[in-house]
Structure 1
Amino acid sequence: MGEDERQPGTTLKKAYSDPAVRAYVRYLRAEKNASEHTVRNYLMDIGQFIVSRWGWERKAPFPWGEVDRFAARHFLALVQQSGRASTTAMRKLSSLRSFYRYLVREQRVEANPFAGTRGPKRRRSLPRVMTVKEVLALLEAPRRWYEQQPPPRSPRQAAWREYKCVRDTAILEVLYSTGMRVGELVSFPESAVDFLSGVVVVRGKGRKERLCPLGGPAAEALRRALEARAGYLKALGRGGRPPAVFLNRNGGRLTARSVERLIRDYSRTAGIGWPVYPHVLRHSFATHMLDNGADLRSVQELLGHAVLSTTQIYTHVSVERLKEVYQQAHPRA
């Protein structure tokens, strides 16, 4: 598509160089309360359209009013021809449709060329979930990892291993207990945790807050992680207020990417024969809740879904699991 020839950061800068785009970013942050992750995705999609339409050499400001519905369809066709998933194409279409809606509202253009553009049909695929047995094996994986380590070469290495084991156990327990997203996990402050009530206040998409119950094992694991955090900072010679609930090896805030890597590594330690990532724990949380009698509305609130239809995918997962059990167990299946 052209944008792959440069680094993603270059595409972001290309988009942000345009005054209309900068105004749109201010609108997203101030009026839509959009997260930085959302803003970055919008900028990337707009930047890729700029490169596709006008090339790398064209300088801002860009003639947004010249874009018609044929240009919009051409861009969508390029996205699909590049082998991107239908969900990616739909996201880019949604980003540009929203951007042009803003331009129309601000009277920067007369019409929205993406308004009538239809995206590719979205193939409905069921999320993969772990069995309860696989979840339990994953929760035990940090301890197994710790037991398999050779003798530490220094007190600092010993302190890191002890902290990592306790921290990672808490991460896995909290993700499965609450169903929160990995971005929510690495960003919630210690003040959001109420151990007495057994809940965590989570700020989700659109910065909307919700309460996530914290199960007994998860609460205990998190309490131990906070205690171990203090000990690890002391081993690093650090004082003052900790920068985050979960720390990395250098004592800074743990990133979502680091959590993805550690879960992938622990899934191998646990003997799970397929790649596990943080959102699989969220899928498993929702499916296991429904399997055990939770109503759909409650699961929707716990997950922080804006609409019920997003949550309904997990009912299909539960039905498919029931069908598998039936096929395996019924003599005339």
Structure 2
Amino acid sequence: MISPALTDALDRWLDHQRGLAGAAENTLKAYHTDVLGFLCFMGQHHGGAQGLAAIADISVRDMRSWMAHERGRGIGARSLARSLSAVKSFYRWLADREGFEPTAVLSVRAPKFQRKLPRPLEEGAAAAMIERVGLQASEPWVAARDIAVVTLLYGCGLRISEALGLTGKDVPLPEVLRIKGKGDKERLVPVIPAARDAVAEYLQLCPYPVSDDAPIFRSLRSKPLSARAIQKVMEQARLQLGLPATATPHAMRHSFATHLLAAGGDLRSIQELLGHASLSTTQAYTAVDAAHLMAVYDKAHPKA
């Protein structure tokens, strides 16, 4: 149970994240769930409704109690670290407006966890995936559509939602495409000739008219193509190619970044191309590249 004043503060913080920080709606929902759960726990922990004054007096011991409670109900270290990050962001914002000292909350360390490395495909496997998805459809225009979408994922590093969000205003594809990604953040993405050609071939074969405000990629019934449809196409292709379950649409984006890094691309440029807010997210690809290098070394180096 939390007070109306604290509920209002939470709503205003979310508006701040939406407007100034540019957080996506899914991110905002996660923030709301995490922070509201934290505030409700504090209310139960202290035996009464929590208002602004009570929140200002939260101690390190209170924070540890909350984290222990979360772990006790099965929340993993990664999820708890995410929740703690949201709580700290809210607390920092609230302390700045209410004039109290936030050190007790901000000083709490997140639990350690092993970050999952991206799982890219080998270059040959990525090329085979693009070819294979084009062999599964009974309709030539559907085959061209699937090839175009997967080529955009691998050739331009787009998220599946970004590729499927392209509209008639975006075609014919230019050499540099302006993409609106997570949190409505815009970035410029070079479009390789193979991607431009694949999309152009699809549009030539597609039986449905293209309008400026509608997505260019359509289903058999002329509805906007869903991400699940491409996921299913790739699931079938990976089974035929003998690829692991990690060969998903997002793996094509991972492959784009990893192969670009291996070819000499610098992290800052790759960060811009992918639209990562933090360089630390992009740095995960250096670990992937190093792991691949060691695997090749172990396989090829003569053993004593």
Q: TM-score range by the shorter chain?
A: 0.7 to 0.9
Q: Distance in 1 between matches of 2:149 and 2:76?
A: 30
Q: SS state of the match for residue 189, structure 2? A: strand
Q: Point out where structure 1 has 5 or more consecutive residues left out of the alignment.
A: 1-14, 148-160, 234-238
TM-score, length of structure 1 as denominator length: 0.76
Determine which of 263, 283, 293 is the counterpart of 1:292: 263
Q: Distance in 2 between matches of 1:321 and 1:175?
A: 22
Partner of 1:156 in structure 2? none
Which string of whole-angstrom CA distances, capped at 9 and with x for unpartnered residues, describes residues 312-333 of structure 1?
Answer: 2212222221222222222237
CA contact (8 A) 1:89 1:120 kept: yes
Q: Distance in 1 between matches of 2:43 and 2:108?
A: 20
Partner of 2:89 in structure 1? 98
Determine which of 280, 291, 311 is the counterpart of 2:282: 311
Q: Are the structure 2 counterparts of residues 283 and 85 from structure 1 closer, same or farther at C-alpha, using a change threshold of 3 Å?
A: farther
TM-score, length of structure 2 as denominator length: 0.82
Partner of 1:4 in structure 2? none
Q: SS state of the match for residue 135, structure 2? A: helix
Partner of 1:24 in structure 2? 13
Q: Distance in 1 between matches of 2:179 and 2:144?
A: 22
Note the C-alpha offset of 1:119.
0.7
Note the C-alpha offset of 1:175.
0.4
Amino acid at match of 1:272: L
Amino acid at match of 1:139: I
- Tell me, yes or no, if structure 1 residue 214 matches structure 2 residue 185: no
Q: Point out where structure 2 has 5 or more consecutive residues left out of the alignment.
A: none
Aligned residue pair count: 294
CA contact (8 A) 1:200 1:212 kept: yes
CA contact (8 A) 1:178 1:214 kept: yes
CA contact (8 A) 2:167 2:211 kept: no
Determine which of 212, 226, 230 is the counterpart of 2:203: 226
Q: Are the structure 2 counterparts of residues 79 and 219 from structure 1 closer, same or farther at C-alpha, using a change threshold of 3 Å?
A: farther
Determine which of 110, 114, 123 is the counterpart of 2:100: 110
Partner of 1:7 in structure 2? none
CA contact (8 A) 2:117 2:288 kept: yes
Counterpart mapping for 1:1-333 below 5 A: 18-54=7-43, 63-67=51-55, 68-69=58-59, 70-107=61-98, 110-112=100-102, 114-146=105-137, 161-192=139-170, 195=173, 197-229=174-206, 231-232=207-208, 243-332=214-303
Q: Distance in 1 between matches of 2:279 and 2:143?
A: 37
Q: Distance in 1 between matches of 2:216 and 2:126?
A: 23
Amino acid at match of 1:212: V
Q: Distance in 2 between matches of 1:249 and 1:105?
A: 53
Note the C-alpha offset of 1:121.
1.3
Structure 1 stretch 174-183 or stretch 120-129: which is displaced more? Answer: 120-129
Q: SS state of the match for residue 202, structure 1? A: strand
Identical amino acids, percent of aligned pairs: 31
Aligned Cα RMSD in Å? 3.1
CA contact (8 A) 2:134 2:146 kept: no
Q: SS state of the match for residue 71, structure 2? A: helix
Q: SS state of the match for residue 119, structure 1? A: coil
Structure 1 stretch 299-308 or stretch 172-181: which is displaced more? Answer: 299-308
Q: SS state of the match for residue 144, structure 1? A: coil
Which string of whole-angstrom CA distances, capped at 9 and with x for unpartnered residues, describes residues 248-292 of structure 1?
Answer: 454333344554444334322433133322321122111111222
Note the C-alpha offset of 1:93.
0.8
Q: Are the structure 2 counterparts of residues 100 and 290 from structure 1 closer, same or farther at C-alpha, using a change threshold of 3 Å?
A: same
